Amino acid sequence: MALSFLLLFLAVVVVALIANMAAASSGPDVAKRFLEVTPDYTADGLRTWVSTYPVQAHRYVYPILFPLDLLFLAALAGLFAIASIATARALHWDGDLVWILAILPVLYAADDLIENAWLARLLLSPRAVTDRSVAIAQTLTKFKFAAVAVAALQLLLLLLWGGWQILLHALR
């Protein structure tokens, strides 16, 4: 598990760096990753941007969303799942139930993947950009942030619980 954790951590860092470099070389708007980070854009604004900058829009999809963000979300979800399961096992949780700790990271990964596919649809076709499609994209982005925060919180609470157990054992 330690090697898996280390490899996934390394993958998260390396893919994030490569994605940031690729985004920076794709134009200032893509460098900001504005669709994934700040879901406050409008349908009219996005439709105009996609129509005015089709090359940047295409580069946002390939290589930023696919394959780089796909690799990032897989590595991050895997990291959270592996670390949560390893921590629970170290705390002597029931081995038959620790798989439950993978649910939240998988939920994050699924939402991020759906968000990427939805954004790709909007970025590759200005006609697909409507008030409703943008509202769905923004909801997916907000849900992604909530899901990754809850997955991180799960791991943090497990680590705090482990630390608490170590402290109690040391005080005996």
> Dihedral of CA 101/10/33/133: which sign?
negative
Instruction: Give me the chain's average pLDDT, please.
Output: 96
Q: What is the residue whose two structure tokens read 């490569």?
A: 18
Q: Give the model's pLDDT for residue 1.
A: 78
Each domain of the chain, given as residue ranges in start order, spans 2-37+54-171
What six digits make up the tokens of 85? 């399961």
Given pLDDT bands bounded at 50, 70 and 90, which one contains residue 2? confident
Per residue in 51-60, pLDDT (tens digit) is 999 999 999 9
The 10s digit of each residue's pLDDT in 137-149 is: 999 999 999 999 9
The residue among 20, 25, 15, 104 whose CA lies nearest residue 67 is 15
- The token pair at 19 is 């994605």
Amino acid 87: pLDDT: 96
Separation CA 105–CA 155 (nearest Å)? 10
**Does position 46 have pLDDT exceeding 90, yes or no?**
yes
The answer to whether residue 88 scores a pLDDT higher than 90 is yes
Question: pLDDT-based confidence at 95, cuts 50/70/90?
Answer: confident
